[in-house]
Structure 1
Amino acid sequence: MKPTLVTTLCFLLFSFTTYFPLPFTHAGIIVKDIYGKPVVPSGSYFIWPDYLVSGGELRLGVTENSTCPFTVLQDYSNYGHGFPVKFTPQNQTSSDDPITLGLHLDIAFDYKPVCAESTKWLVVEAENEYPTPWLAIDGTGKNVYDDGWFELIAYERTGYLIYFCHKLSSTRGECRYISRKNDKNGMRLVFDDGDYLAAVFVNVDDIVRARGSSIVKKDRAFTLPMI
């Protein structure tokens, strides 16, 4: 094969793998909970860290000068259940169709503080309070970073990364995974390159079994981070 042809093929391969949209590479693959059951919009799920990642469950907490728990945080310990969430496809009407990788999603907690307008996850920003955009629920009064959607992408053998994509984005380079930064009341989930949040999902109906499962106990033997 001529060197020029090899160079051309390598360039094309790099272009395809770099710029294809997230849904193209994962379309149709069903997202599953820790027991291998499809994750569906009608279900409620706890988001726990994958066994390769430290930390605990997701919840809401107070940050900065707010008196309402608007900010999405991850506990440093794994002793609680956290708050369950629902995954709602933006372009899917049936609540029985499984969630698939790359599907455009809204994510919201089942629990709503009285002081909040809704529990839908938003990416907000306020540079005078925090240096990078972060996850919060509706009602903070902060600027919404950008309208868009969330996607679930497979990670390692059992986990998933949560991506946020701008509404006008069409390429992988414009979708970024949700990561974590240490904060006073827990790890803040931020829209910034850093310590990624790799997650597994536990149906609320399986919480007792999950807490007593030898598999989950093994997977969730974490070391608390130094703060």
Structure 2
Amino acid sequence: MKARTTTNVFAIFILFAFISIHLPSLATAELIDTDGNLIENDGSYYILPVFRGNGGGIGQTATGNETCPLTVVQQHSEVDNGLPIIISSPLKIRYLGEGIRLDLSFSFVPLCTPIPSKWTLVKGLLEGEGAAVKLTGFYENQVQGWFEIRKTLDVFKLSFCASSNNNCMDIGVKRDDEGNRLLVTTEDNPFVVVFKKARSSYSA
């Protein structure tokens, strides 16, 4: 009887360990858009800064020697919503919560980029230890991993988590020498954002 009880306890422990690894936490915060609606899995949204007056939404541009707009940037004008971004999770869920593994990709795909134009992180392009957010398929030194949306106080921020060590880094904004507002990893200045549902056009 004692051996059977020990076996049952061990089986329950394994079950809970499996659930904790493969399913999102039931306590995760809900993700809400600017209309107060839950953010949908595979939905299309503009990602906008919480604090207006210092740039607009998220778009893409060519930087450095790029001949294709591979770099993810914040738009200069605060009235520019940027491009619609598809926020998706491999989990079979309708709505997204905080800390869930996500893919981010532009719904508008230039002819020179792969379909879909997913975001990734690329090391070695910036001075210091930071890495830049780029489109996949063009850089050999891209980091394998996933994006997350995390809640800090009453606002949201973007993070990238590396598959190699599960280390998650906040995403911030850094100006390059050409004045572009690059999305990059940061240790102390995350880009806090809101999510606005994209309609049938790219207009505000």
TM-score of Structure 1 vs Structure 2, range by shorter chain: 0.7 to 0.9
Q: Do the aligned residues in 2 keep the contact of 1:26 with 1:102 (CA within 8 Å)?
A: no
Q: 1:67-216 alignment to 2 at 5 Å?
A: 67-90=67-90, 92-94=91-93, 97-118=94-115, 119-125=117-123, 127=124, 129-131=125-127, 132-144=130-142, 146-157=143-154, 159-170=155-166, 174-183=167-176, 184-205=178-199
Q: Do the aligned residues in 2 keep the contact of 1:27 with 1:102 (CA within 8 Å)?
A: no
Query: Whole-Å Cα distance in 1 between the matches of residues 54 and 144 of structure 2?
Result: 30
Query: Whole-Å Cα distance in 2 between the matches of residues 195 and 169 of structure 1?
Result: 22
Query: Whole-Å Cα distance in 2 between the matches of residues 203 and 24 of structure 1?
Result: 23
- RMSD across aligned C-alpha pairs, in angstroms? 2.7
Aligned length: 179
**Residue segments in structure 2 that go unaligned for 5+ positions in a row:** 1-20
Q: Do the aligned residues in 2 keep the contact of 1:57 with 1:78 (CA within 8 Å)?
A: yes
Q: Do the aligned residues in 1 keep the contact of 2:60 with 2:70 (CA within 8 Å)?
A: yes
Q: Do the aligned residues in 1 keep the contact of 2:171 with 2:185 (CA within 8 Å)?
A: yes
Q: Secondary structure at the match of 1:30?
A: coil
TM-score by length of 1: 0.70
> In 2 relative to 1, CA 67–26 (structure 1 residues): closer, same or farther, beyond 3 Å?
farther
> In 2 relative to 1, CA 138–53 (structure 1 residues): closer, same or farther, beyond 3 Å?
same
Query: Whole-Å Cα distance in 1 between the matches of residues 53 and 165 of structure 2?
Result: 28
> In 2 relative to 1, CA 26–84 (structure 1 residues): closer, same or farther, beyond 3 Å?
farther
The aligned amino acid for 1:192 is T
Q: Secondary structure at the match of 1:200?
A: strand
Q: Secondary structure at the match of 1:195?
A: coil
Over residues 114-145 of structure 1, what are the superposed CA-to-partner deviations in whole Å (9 max), with x where a residue is unaligned? 111131010012x3x4223100012323411x
TM-score by length of 2: 0.77
Structure number having the greater helix percentage: 1
1:29 aligns with 2:25: no
